[in-house]
Amino acid sequence: MPNLTSERLRIEPIRSTHAPLVFSPLQDPAIYTYLPEDPPTFEALQNRYDYLESGCSPDGEALWLNWVGFLRDSMTPVGTFQATLPKGKAGSFAYVVFPPFWRQGYAREMARCVISHVFEAHQTTSLYAEIDTRNTGSIRLVESLGLTRTATTQAADFFKGASSDEYTYSVSREDWSAQQSADG
């Protein structure tokens, strides 16, 4: 996988050596408000990055594409982005932006760059994201990128003492291309 760049970001494929750089930012509990997990231990994060560095599922049936976004001319991590591309099926994506970089356009910039790359470099015909219905920031983000709400799943998960509903947002390769052309 190539490094990607945007106006303010350098987006590198996840490597094992990234774990020490993103461990501390991933400890912020605000990240996990709408996620059914808690901050990872360093050992768990290192093991995960060791595992993800291969770029594919153990059975070889899906590409697991993972990146870390950095401020363009530094080693300051801004967030992570992942795309899962199963053979012959719609791909999914998810992202985490670290709280010091919230509401500054970094999530949109990283998502736009990576989604464009995924559609250009891979055969997937569509991508979707599942978002907790309470996560208004992520909902606004995917809507601003031109994704369409295609489903609502009631009681999709139960964590931190509450039931969580999820929206599914999706975009086809053709709609993404048209949206990017319109945005210039």
Mean pLDDT by 10 residues, the chain (184 residues): 94 96 96 92 95 88 95 96 94 96 96 96 95 95 96 89 92 92 75
pLDDT of residue 184: 64
Virtual torsion, Cα 43, 163, 93, 151, nearest 10 deg: 170
pLDDT of residue 163: 87
- For the entire predicted model, the pTM comes to 0.92
In angstroms and rounded to an integer, the radius of gyration of the C-alpha atoms of the chain is 16
In the chain, DSSP assigns E strands to: 4-5, 9-13, 62-71, 77-86, 91-97, 126-132, 148-159, 162-172
pLDDT of residue 128: 97
pLDDT of residue 159: 84
The CA distance from 170 to 153, in Å, is 14
pLDDT of residue 120: 95
Q: Which CATH number fits domain 4-183: 3.30.1360.70, 3.40.720.10, 3.40.630.30, 3.40.50.10170?
A: 3.40.630.30
The CA distance from 182 to 184, in Å, is 5
pLDDT of residue 160: 82
- 175: which 2 tokens? 């709609």
